[in-house]
Amino acid sequence: MPVATTKMLEFMQELKKVVTVGVVGGSDLVKISEQLGITVFNDYDYVFAEKVLVAYKGGNLIGTQSFKSYLGEDKLKEFINFTLHYIADLDIPIKRRMFIEFRNGMLNVCPIGRNCSQEERDEFEDKVHNIRSKIVFVLRERINNLGRHAQAGLVDEGRGYIKLLLECGMRPTIQHYGCMVDSFGKAGLVGEAYEVLVQCRLRRTW
pLDDT at residue 176, as a whole number: 61
pLDDT score for 150? 45
The conformation of residue 48, written as its DSSP 8-state character, comes to E
Distance in angstroms (rounded) separating the CA atoms of residues 192 and 181: 9
Domains of the chain: 1-65 (3.40.50.1000), 69-146 (3.30.1240.20), 147-205 (no CATH)
pLDDT digits (tens, 9 = 90+) for 104-121: 767 788 877 777 777 777
In this prediction, residue 201 has a pLDDT band, given cuts at 50, 70 and 90, of low
The verdict on pTM exceeding 0.95 is no
Write out the DSSP string of 70-89. Answer: HH-HHHHHHHHHHHHHHHHT
Q: Give pLDDT, residue 14.
A: 93
Would the annotation count 142 as a binding residue? no
204 has pLDDT over 50: no
Query: What pLDDT sits at residue 149?
Result: 45
pLDDT tens readout for residues 61-73: 888 877 777 677 8
103 annotated ligand-binding residue = yes
